[in-house]
Every structure is written in structure tokens, then in C-alpha cells.
Structure 1
Amino acid sequence: MRTALTDLLDVEHPIVGFNRSPGVVAAVTNAGGFGVLAASAYKPEELDAQLTWIEEQVQGKPYGVDLLVPEKFAAGDPDDLVASLRAQIPAEHFAFVQDLLERYGIPPAPEGTGSFDEIAASLNPAGAAALLDVAFQHRISLIANALGTPPPDLVARGKAAGVVVAALVGQPKHARRQIDAGVDVLIAQGTEAGGHTGTIATMVLTPEIVDMAGDRPVLAAGGIASGRQMAAALALGAAGVWTGSVWLSSEEDVANQAIKNKFLAATSSDTLRSPTRTGKPARQLRTAWHDEWEAAGSPGPLPMPLQPLLVNEAWQRIDAAAEAGHEGALKLESFFVGQVVGSFREVRPAAEIVRKLVADCEQRIADLGALLPSPAA
């Protein structure tokens, strides 16, 4: 299958697989797609190690990196970022989270668990710059900005290095800003997607962005976990698909088995857009965690990056306890996932997911072609 995306990235299939797990990234690339690593949660030295490992696995095949740089960043003393940010968190918020953990009986985090303080710098422009420096030291073929318009120096750096610059958009006005900034690829992410999303559906958003993009490839994102959905995206004018949630049902994904079991049991109506993990609306599996934040007496979530600074340790404790089968933690356990979670039936190798997407997409396109009348003899 050949599209503007496969030509641009020199890949076999117009499928981008976005995931935080290096194993998923390598498997998607090796299966003929294009793996993209979610890199913002890594420290620079960790990112360097992960990209080195990916390159060892893919042996010269193309892959990319995604970074999250928020357009708005809570003010803080640059000389002591974490302390100044913590000082902005009201005492009632700390008390609310502590009470929640106590009521559900969540034990302390295991020894050796990393602190969010160590990676807080990645949520500001200076910290993201350090990760960018690492990424550009490797053989990446694409760099994507997950939030907001990339700064001019990022676009210029990408063009100088021959690295494709992509950006996610949730509204036509976002696309206009990205086009003006000079990005190479637009990712039209509908509200069905997992993680940070807007409110416009993929079916509506994708053709709007395609009509604006000119000769820039547009990828459809959100609600794509099957070949039929991939075929629909191509029919809307997309040059390929940006997929994220589907890889959460892969063997290579690093999510614990507890959350994977919850994904397999979920329906498509079991997600919601909530700012209670990151401070920005992000689609995730609805659990008791969200019920508690919506209940009377909740102080309400804070803006990014204060909310993740507030709740990250709590999530480390919840994740660890849920993996161990703790009853209270299993009620709270959640993760970012799109509405396609309702289609998850089993955990499969990522390469098998790629092959199934491609085969079913090609079959659906052929079936559609058969609906057309035969040309006159």
C-alpha cells in the first residue's frame, strides 16, 4: 500500500504506532509500520538508552519520537523548579489525595520507585530541549509535538537534519497554527483517542484537516484499532493512521497485567476525558479514581504541571499495588486509553496487530471496490 506517508517515511505500511514501550516501537517498525516512542516521561540518559536499544532492534529501519511540550506552563522559579511548583499546590489538594489513598488502603510505593521530581523538568521548554538534544543525536526519522505548536527552532532543526516534524491537532485552528509554523505532517486526533484530546470526532475532523493541509500528509488518529477503521481513515483522505490505544493490548506494552485485564473487560463507553491525571483533559479508563474527584468535597484538579506533580506518587503506589492484586488499588487503577478499548479481546504480539490491520484494511478496500459497477465493455 503506497501513500504520501509511506513515501515520506520510506515504510511499507501507512501505520504509525505510538507507545511508551520501546518494545512496541521496535515491533511496529520491524513489521513494516513506523514506531514512535512517547519520550516525555524519560530523563535524558534514559531516553538515550532506550533509543539505542530501539536502533539495535530495527537495524536501520525508520522510527520516531514524540515529545510533550505544553503551550501553557504554570509559573515557577527556574532556579528551583520543583520546589516552586510544589509551593503552588494548595494544602487541601495534598490532603485530599492522602485521604483517598488511606481510604482505599493503598500501601507505600516500593523502594526504588522513581520520583516525578526527577522528570518534572521535561514538562517545561528547557527540559524538553534536553530530550530533543538526545533525540537528534540518534537516527530518528520523525519528531512529533504532542501539545501545542512546536517552537521555530524545533522546526528548523528538523528540516536541517532531514527529520520530519509532525504535530497533533484537535481543531482546524490548531492546524492553521501548525501549518504556519512549517510542520511537515498533521495528525488529526479526534476525541475518541486516548490521552490528551479535543472534542471533535475523527470522522468530522480528518476531512477538515485534509482540506486545509495542501500537500502535507495528514494522519487520522482516534478510534482506529481495526483494518475497517484504517480503511475509513484512508477514505476520508488521510495518508495513514496514527494509532496509540491498540498497542495497549500488545504483549510488548509495559502496562501491568491488572490494567490490561481491565482493558479486556471494558466497553467503549467506559472511558472519559478528565484532567485529574495531567491537568489537561485526557481520555482514560473510568474508575473509582474519577468518581472520587467528581464527588462532593473534592477540591478539583489543578492545571498542568501541578496536577501530575500532585498525583504522580499516588499513581505509582496504585499501579504497584494493583499489580500485586490489592483490592482497593484495583478499584482505582486506570490508564490513558481511547474508546476502541471496547474492541479489545486478547493480548497479542504487536507484529500480529500490524499484520491484521493491514490485511483487514486491504480486504475492506477490495470489498468496497467490488461495489462499483463494472466498466462498460
Structure 2
Amino acid sequence: MRTAFTDLVGVEHPLAGFNRTPAVVVEVSRAGGLGVLGATMYTPDQLDAQLTWIEEQLEGRPYAVDVLVPARSRAAVGPDPAIPAEHRAFVDALLEKYGIPPLSEPVDPFGRIDASLETNTSAGLVEALLDVTFAHRPALVANALGTPPPAMLERARAAGVPVAALVGKREHAERQLAAGVDLLVAQGTEAGGHTGGVATMVLTPEVVAVAGDVPVLAAGGIATGPQLAAALALGAAGGWAGSVWLASHEDLAGRAIKDKLLAASSSDTVISTSRTGKPARQLASAWLAEWAAPGAPAPLPLPLQPMLVREAWERIDAAAERGVATARDLESFFVGQVVGSMTELRPTADIVRDIVTGCEARLRELCGR
């Protein structure tokens, strides 16, 4: 299927697959889509190693990098920020209530999205991540945190790399277009992770209407062939999928959270600020319920909330993987409403194939062929 998106990045299928796991990125691109690496969880050295490995595996096939670049520089937060004592006490009491044991050994913070949000959105590290990205050969660079600053756009132009931006409202799209982005990702509220309040079915045609010649991908609720076909029918040039890869063999998530994802229904997600300080859709759990209960403190803004809860989540994840039942009650992860269609673990390549062939079949049906 040829669209403005496939022409822009040189792929066979109008499907972008976002994931933090390099192996998933490689398999999506090998299968003819565009694998997109979530870069912000990595240090610059780690990102350099991962992109080197991806390029070795793909042997020239296109891939993309997704970063969080604030429109305004964010100063680095010190090691002991002014987090209210009330919030620290709340987290300590929550862990004690659920019997979550201390860590037996330190956990690498760059294996966690929570840790990356507190560090890798500061000005110095953002620049370092961009340095690494543009030293490699991505077919696209995406920004998921507002309008890319002019310096990022200038670097991309100089490198000949198109820039994508995620938007949750038509007004966001208009600002991105004025800045000069090359691709818009219209992310509906169904999507996992940081998200807005407008549904993909409503948002996508609104963004397409103002985008002109700039291609638009639909995100949020893209996990099957008919859903990709629906995105194309709405005027999108393809789909941006994220949650569905959590049910792949290659994704690096632990078995405890994968088991919960596979058992969940489409109504088992909640938008909460309790993880990152920004509204993010994630799997419902006791953690989210405790933060939403009467008397709980309001979550802190980014980057303070991730700093507050990072160690707590390291402890929860470790305990859940050891089979501690109360930790599994708390366990959660960023995932969209398509979680209800994720019922078994499969190879990434098979997921791509099924989405693409299912889309083609539905389009033939709609055309009466």
C-alpha cells in the first residue's frame, strides 16, 4: 500500500510501530513497516549502542527515533529536589500497606520510563540524545512533547531527516504546521501513555483537514487490520501503533505485567497523572486507585512525580516478577484501550503481517472486490 507516508520514509506498509525495545523496532522494519525507537529511556551512550545495533540488523532498511524535546529548555533537577514530605510519606505508607520489600540490589534507572522522564527531558541531555540521533541514519525523528524547537528542526533539515510531531488537538496540529514539521501523528485519547481527551475517530479528520500536503498518521486504537483501514478511510496516510507490541515476544516488559495485559479488557485502562505528573493512559491497578482515593495528595508535576515514585516502581516491578501477589495488584504499565484485543504473545513480524493483510482485506471488501 503506497501512501504519502510510505513515500516520505521509504517503507512498504503505512504502519509505524513505536516501542522502547530495539528488537521490536527491527522486526517492524524488517516486516515492511517503520520501527520507531522510544529513545528517551536511554542515556546517550546507551542510545548510540542501540542505534548502532539496529542499523547493523536492518542493513539499510528505514527506522525512526522518538524523543521528548520540550519547546522550552528544561533545567536539570538536582538529586534532592523539594518534594513535599506529605508525598514521600504517602508513597512510603502505600508500599508498607502492600508489603513491598526493599530492593535487594540497585536497579538501573535507565531501564525505566519513569526515570527517563526525570532526567532525559532536561536541556543538556536532550541535546546529547539529539547529537547521537543525528550521528546515525534514521529515516524520521519524532517529537512527542510539544512543538519541536527551531534548533531541532534546523538540525533535521541539515541532516535531511523529516520531523514528525504527535498532536492531541487540532490546535496543536496548527502550531506544529506553522513550525514546519513534515508529518503529524494524530493521537487520540484511546492511546497508551501521555494522551489527550479527543478520540481518534474525531481527531484524525480534524487534523487531516488542516494538514494540507503534510501526511497524517492516526494513533490510538490501531492494533488490527480493520483499525488501520479505518485510519486510512479517515484520511490518514497510515497508522502509528504502540500498545500492540507489548504483546510481542520481543518486547522487554516482564512476564508479570504481560500477564496482566493479556488478561485485561478494553475498559481496564485509566488516565492518571500518578506515574509521570502528566495525564497518561495506563492499565488500571491498585496503585492508580490509591492515588485517586480521598485524602491522597495530588500528584506532582513532571519531572518531580517521576522522581518521587521511581524507586517505588522499581520495588513493585521486582516484587511482581518474584510472584508477590500484592505487588501484582499494584503493577501497571502505559497501554491503550486496544489492550482488550491482546490475548496472547506473538512474534512482532506476525503482528505486522496480520495488521497489513487484515487492512488490505477490509479495503477490498469496502471496494466490493
Please give the range of the TM-score, normalised by the shorter of the 2 chains. Answer: over 0.9
Letter in 2 for 1:224: I
Query: What TM-score comes out, normalization by structure 1 length?
Result: 0.94
Query: 1:73, 1:181 → 2: CA distance?
Result: 17
Q: How many residues align?
A: 365
Contact 2:17 2:28 in 1 (8 A): yes
Superposed, which structure 2 residues align to 1:66-145 within 5 Å?
A: 66-71=66-71, 81-83=77-79, 86-115=80-109, 119=116, 120-145=118-143
Q: Do structure 1's residue 246 and structure 2's residue 240 form an aligned pair? A: no
Deviations 1:269-325 (A, max 9, x none): 100110101100000001000111011221120000000011011111111111111
Q: State the partner residue of 1:375.
A: none
Deviations 1:233-287 (A, max 9, x none): 0000000101000101111101111111111111111001101011000000010
- Can you give the 5+ residue segments of structure 2 that lack an aligned partner in the other structure? none
Q: State the partner residue of 2:326.
A: 328
Deviation at residue 108 of structure 1 after TM alignment: 1.6
Query: 2:34, 2:68 → 1: CA distance?
Result: 19
Query: 2:225, 2:82 → 1: CA distance?
Result: 47
Q: State the partner residue of 1:180.
A: 178
Query: 2:62, 2:71 → 1: CA distance?
Result: 28
Deviation at residue 72 of structure 1 after TM alignment: 7.1
Contact 2:44 2:132 in 1 (8 A): yes
Deviation at residue 71 of structure 1 after TM alignment: 5.0
Deviations 1:4-49 (A, max 9, x none): 0111111010100000000100000011100000011111111111
Contact 2:26 2:54 in 1 (8 A): yes
Q: State the partner residue of 2:258.
A: 260
Q: State the partner residue of 1:362.
A: 360
- Can you give the 5+ residue segments of structure 1 that lack an aligned partner in the other structure? 372-377
Deviation at residue 124 of structure 1 after TM alignment: 1.7
Query: 2:104, 2:332 → 1: CA distance?
Result: 19
Q: State the partner residue of 1:151.
A: 149
Superposed, which structure 2 residues align to 1:37-48 within 5 Å?
A: 37-48=37-48
3-state SS of paired residue (1:254): coil
Letter in 1 for 2:360: E
3-state SS of paired residue (1:134): helix
Query: 2:303, 2:29 → 1: CA distance?
Result: 32
Deviations 1:133-169 (A, max 9, x none): 0111111111100011000011111111111100000
Query: 2:45, 2:180 → 1: CA distance?
Result: 30
3-state SS of paired residue (2:42): coil
Q: State the partner residue of 2:53.
A: 53
Contact 1:73 1:305 in 2 (8 A): no
Letter in 1 for 2:93: D
Deviation at residue 118 of structure 1 after TM alignment: 7.6
Contact 1:43 1:118 in 2 (8 A): no
Contact 2:195 2:280 in 1 (8 A): yes
Name the % identity: 63
Query: What TM-score comes out, normalization by structure 2 length?
Result: 0.96
Q: Do structure 1's residue 165 and structure 2's residue 159 form an aligned pair? A: no
* Aligned CA-pair RMSD: 1.5
Query: 2:25, 2:63 → 1: CA distance?
Result: 7
Q: State the partner residue of 2:31.
A: 31
C-alpha distance 97-118 of structure 1, shift in aligned 2 (>3 A): closer
3-state SS of paired residue (1:220): strand
3-state SS of paired residue (1:276): coil
**In terms of mean alpha carbon deviation, does 115-124 or 230-239 score higher?**
115-124
Q: State the partner residue of 1:12.
A: 12
Query: 1:35, 1:196 → 2: CA distance?
Result: 20
Query: 2:160, 2:166 → 1: CA distance?
Result: 20
C-alpha distance 289-73 of structure 1, shift in aligned 2 (>3 A): farther
Query: 1:314, 1:72 → 2: CA distance?
Result: 29
Letter in 1 for 2:98: Y
Query: 2:59, 2:81 → 1: CA distance?
Result: 47
Deviations 1:201-244 (A, max 9, x none): 00000001001011000000001100000000000000010100
Query: 1:355, 1:21 → 2: CA distance?
Result: 19
3-state SS of paired residue (1:106): coil
Letter in 1 for 2:36: V
Superposed, which structure 2 residues align to 1:199-218 within 5 Å?
A: 199-218=197-216
Query: 2:133, 2:100 → 1: CA distance?
Result: 37
